[in-house]
């Protein structure tokens, strides 16, 4: 079911500062910021030869990553994103396996304009998992 690792996401308190760490200190290619109002986050992508790093900061008052940053004020690894060929088939398989899909269970449009879903971290080794249809 799982395809490639699409990205590793890191929640940060200050996206401009985090972008500078990746662009200047680590000399990586960093995208311009994108506001994802549906997800309550502002993101940039760091492009690596084999995958991407997504840097996230809260957008709006009820951002889902606000509580994460209260617990991890310096930032921290937030989720892994795996590619799937058919997100509805993947969701139905996971639900049949007893896994929990977050939200209303319907895919939302993610940072790359493609459908995404998030899976409960308690069902996946303590790690929040994003699935992206590619
Ligand atoms: Co992501």
Distance 9 CA to ligand 1 centre (A): 6
The residues annotated with a catalytic role in the active site are: 130
In tens, the pLDDT along 96-110 reads 999 999 999 999 998
Residue positions counted in the chain:
134
Give the domains, in start order, of the chain with CATH numbers: 5-133 (3.10.180.10)
pLDDT at 4: 97
The per-type count for the chain, helices as H runs and strands as E runs, is 3, 9
Compute the distance from residue 56 Cα to the ligand 1 centre, in Å. 8
pTM of this structure? 0.93
How far away, in angstroms, is 25 Cα from ligand 1 center? 23
pLDDT tens figures, 33-51 = 999 988 899 999 999 999 9
Tens digit of pLDDT for each residue in 48-103? 999 999 999 999 878 989 999 999 999 999 999 999 999 999 999 999 999 999 99
Span from the CA of 29 to the centroid of ligand 1 (angstroms): 17
128 has a pLDDT exceeding 90: yes
Q: What is the pLDDT of residue 61?
A: 78
Token digits of residue 9: 């996401």
Segment 117-132 mean pLDDT: 97
Confidence of residue 129 (pLDDT cuts 50, 70, 90): very high
Could you tell me the distance, in angstroms and rounded to a whole number, from the CA of residue 52 to the centre of ligand 1?
10
What the block records as the tokens of 54 is 């997504």
Q: Which of 70, 74, 73, 14 is nearest to 44 (CA)?
A: 14
């Amino acid at each position: 079911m799982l395809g490639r690792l699409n990205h590793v996401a890191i929640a940060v308190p200050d996206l401009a500062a985090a972008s500078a760490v990746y662009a200047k200190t680590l000399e990586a290619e960093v995208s311009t910021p994108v506001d994802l109002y549906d997800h309550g986050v502002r993101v940039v992508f760091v492009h690596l030869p084999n995958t991407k790093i997504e840097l996230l900061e809260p957008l709006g008052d009820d951002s889902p990553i606000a509580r994460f940053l209260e617990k991890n004020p310096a930032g921290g690894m937030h989720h892994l994103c795996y590619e799937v060929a058919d997100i509805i088939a993947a969701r139905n398989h996971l639900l049949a396996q007893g896994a929990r899909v977050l939200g209303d269970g319907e895919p939302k449009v993610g940072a790359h304009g493609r459908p995404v879903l998030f899976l409960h971290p308690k069902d996946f080794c303590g790690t929040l998992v994003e699935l992206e249809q590619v």
